[in-house]
Chains A and B, each alone.
Chain A
Amino acid sequence: MITARKYGKPVGLLALLGVAIAFPLVFSDPTYTTIAVFALIFASAASGWNIFAGYTGYIALGHAAYFGIGAYALAIICQRYNIPGGWEPIYLIPLCGLIAGVFAIPLGAIALRTRRHTFIVVTIATFFIVQLMAFNLRGLTNGSTGLDMPIPFQWGAGYQGGNQSIYNLPFYFTALALTIVALAVSWFIRHSKYGLGLLAIRDDEDRARGLGVRTGSSKLSAFVISAIFAGMAGALFAYFIGSVQPQFDFDPLFDLSIALMTFLGGIGTRAGPILGALVLEFAQQWLTLYFTQDGLYLILYGVLFLVVILLLPRGVIPSLQELWAKGRARGRIGPLVLPVKTPVMSAGTTSPPTATRMTGQAGETAHEEVPR
């Protein structure tokens, strides 16, 4: 029982990783792999967004700005430095993420002077300012015409025709790598003191600050980290599509998508955004393909949004966890959280822990006495 619980998780994760690696080799039809690439790009972006929005509770709806900055950064670098295509642009993706992150520092600092609804509005506003710049700074962005990306992989015989099942593979594995990195960073932050500070901010920011949590720098750094993931997703997206244009790379629907994905899967959880992204992106692409009607997924988004808010306000993952906990509790006696009565204590039965005990000889006492 104990060993199953201890090893169950890593084994499960490894199995999932195996499935993810085998997927494009088994379902090599480019229709499927293309959908999978988009799904994973969104999964990495949603997972990165969740590090900020999920952990701190600040709902940012302007991350399309950083998605677009990442995309344009790659396009502009490739054009200025005559980068030929192939793997080189993929190696530049982290750099593009960092560029998006640099932009996020001042924009985040301004937006984070506000809270709650005002914060949401300010982030939306910063997005539209950046989009407007992409349209109008023609010398840099080529305006509404956009820029072309280098042709990715000659050996895949190009974007049109040829063997597309091979063509998609580098994109698929890059997107998978980004998703794994985003998940790993989420996990690492959730288990760090820094991440605990972010969660404390979500619950009661002023109280957290009063207890010594550095709220300002914590929020800003989390904002920048999430912008870096949006930027990397944008760069990969642009390279996959083959060109950048203001209306597609600075797309307000991007923010609605990643927010909805995160809410659907479970905001603040690690697996939630990934699950939400996989489900929604597959559904969207499938609807588009099946009904050959491009806007149909928007109706799906609307319906799902209502369903999530009405039935699963905390998302799929937390709801499942709750069911699981309830199921387990039914097997035992009594409720899961026992309403423990505070013991009547006479003064001095337990001596309060002293400073020396903390710094000096940790390791004695307490553990065994704690009822599980």
Chain B
Amino acid sequence: MTILEVRNASKAFGGIHALNDCSISVEAGKITGLIGPNGSGKTTLFNVITGYEKVDAGEVHYDGRTITNATPNKVFAMGIGRTFQLTRIFPRLSVLENMHVSAQRHSLRGLLGGWSRSNERQRALELLEFVGIAALKDAQAGNLSYGQKKLLEFAFILIAEPKVILLDEPAGGVNPTMINHLQSRIQELNKQGITFLIVEHNMEFIMQLCDTVTVMHRGTKIAEGTPANVRQNPAVLEAYLGD
């Protein structure tokens, strides 16, 4: 079953076509990899799905609904969480406070209530434990290492219980130990039924983790299939190695 689908999306910045009639689909419960050379439109595609950019043409469907050009908060509330290539955490808040920001409540009572007690704190601590940075819960988030920030961003996405998680280069600039750790966390969550769409340049990471891989080049999809298949696809080799 397809849970997330982009149909014929186009997006131009001035004369540059970041997305050019691009269509991809993501199967529910699977881990899908999204690869492609630099500038092939992967991050733009993420931005379009999560509402950070509006498409010039095309549609985005999620879980039977149309979410084309929905606002980021709506997309997030519907169950699509994402991390950013350059992590976006709240640097002057503590690690635990970061966790509470994304677990928003909208009733007046919820807003005016304290956030440091309650079930929510319990869950925040559990998730920090799960990603492995619970010992840093009181540290200022801006003082974390690059890899720890990525884990924190990952954890505070999880607190909102998304159905689909979009990760933008989760392994970029992270040491191999932490990559393995991250990989195990993703697999664990996937077992529970969370769907992943992952942009990554680390091929080993993608090949080990993903059920299917989609390849983009010049703003559109050029190949799709199992990791082994994609690796031998001539169009993919050409895109990476040049004409």
Which A residues are closer than 8 A to B by beta carbons? 188, 191-194, 196-197, 199-200, 202-204, 206-214, 337-340, 342-348, 350-355, 357-359, 362-363, 365-367, 369-371
Contact = CB atoms under 8 A, between A and B. Distances in A.
B100 interface: yes
A366 B181 contact: no
A196 B115 contact: yes
A48 B49 CA distance: 40
A342 B175 CA distance: 10
Given A350-B129, A352-B189, A366-B129, A192 B113 contact: yes
Contacts of A340: 133, 135-136, 148
Interface stretch (B11-19, B117-125, B212-220): B117-125
Nearest to B136: A340
Given A208-B90, A344-B177, A366-B126, A354 B97 contact: no
13 contacts: A191-B114, A193-B105, A199-B93, A204-B89, A210-B76, A211-B160, A213-B73, A337-B143, A340-B133, A342-B132, A358-B119, A366-B122, A370-B135
A210 B126 contact: no
A363 B122 contact: yes
A273 to B, nearest CB: 18
A344 B183 CA distance: 11
Interface of B: 50-52, 71-73, 76-77, 84, 88-93, 97, 100-102, 104-106, 110-116, 118-120, 122-123, 125-127, 129-130, 132-137, 139-140, 143, 145, 147-148, 151, 156, 158, 160-161, 177-178, 180-181, 184-185, 187-189, 192
A367 B125 contact: yes
Given A204-B88, A350-B129, A197 B181 contact: no
Contacts of A369: 129, 134
B134 A370 contact: yes
Given A211-B76, A343-B132, 10 more contacts: A191-B115, A193-B104, A203-B93, A206-B72, A210-B51, A212-B104, A342-B132, A342-B147, A352-B188, A357-B126
B123 A358 contact: yes
A353 B192 CA distance: 10
Closest 4 pairs (CB-CB, A-B) = A210-B72, A347-B184, A203-B90, A362-B119
Contact of B148 (A342, A351, A353): A342
Contacts of A371: 134-135
Contact of B77 (A207, A212, A344): A212
Given A203-B93, A366-B125, A345 B77 contact: no
A330 B110 CA distance: 40
A345 to B, nearest CB: 5
Contact of B115 (A193, A202, A357): A193
Contact of A362 (B114, B123, B177): B123
B123 A338 contact: no
B51 to A, nearest CB: 8
Contact of A353 (B51, B52, B104, B126): B126
B187 A347 contact: yes
